[in-house]
Amino acid sequence: HRRFDYRPKTDPYCQARYTFCPTGSAIPVMKEEDAIEVYRLQAPVWEFKYGDLLGHLKIMHDAVGFKSSLTGKNYTMEWYELFQLGNCTFPHLRPGMDAPFWCNQGAACFYEGIDDAHWKANGTLVLVTTISGTMFNEMAQWVKHDNETGIYYETWTVQASPDKKSTVWFDSYECSKFILRTYQKLADLGAVFKKIQTNYTSIILFSGEPLYLGNETSIFGPQGNKTLAAAIRDFYDPFKPHQSVREFFVDLFKIIDRVILNHQFYLFYNLEYWFLPMKSPYLKIIYEEVPLPVGSKASFGV
Residue of 56, 61, 118, 145 with catalytic role? 61
Q: Which residues contact 249 (CB under 8 A, 6 or more apart)?
A: none
In the chain, the percentage of residues whose pLDDT exceeds 70 is: 90
pLDDT at position 297 over 70: no
Q: Are 28 and 66 in contact (CB under 8 A)?
A: no
- pTM, two decimals, is 0.87
Stretch 255-268: mean pLDDT = 83
The pLDDT value given to residue 242: 58
Rounded to 10 degrees, the C-alpha dihedral 78/274/234/202 comes to: -30
Stretch 71-81: mean pLDDT = 95
Nearest to 232 by CA among 103, 90, 104: 90
175 annotated active-site: yes
The pLDDT value given to residue 120: 86
Residue of 118, 175, 242, 263 with catalytic role? 175
The pLDDT value given to residue 37: 97
Lowest mean pLDDT among 24-38, 200-214, 241-255: 241-255
Nearest-angstrom CA–CA distance, 256 and 158: 14
Nearest-angstrom CA–CA distance, 158 and 276: 9
Q: What is the enclosing helix (H) or strand (E) of 77?
A: strand 74-81
Opening angle at CA 271, ends 86 and 258, nearest 5: 50
Q: Are 152 and 105 in contact (CB under 8 A)?
A: yes
| Confidence tier at 1 by pLDDT (50, 70, 90) | low
The pLDDT value given to residue 298: 43
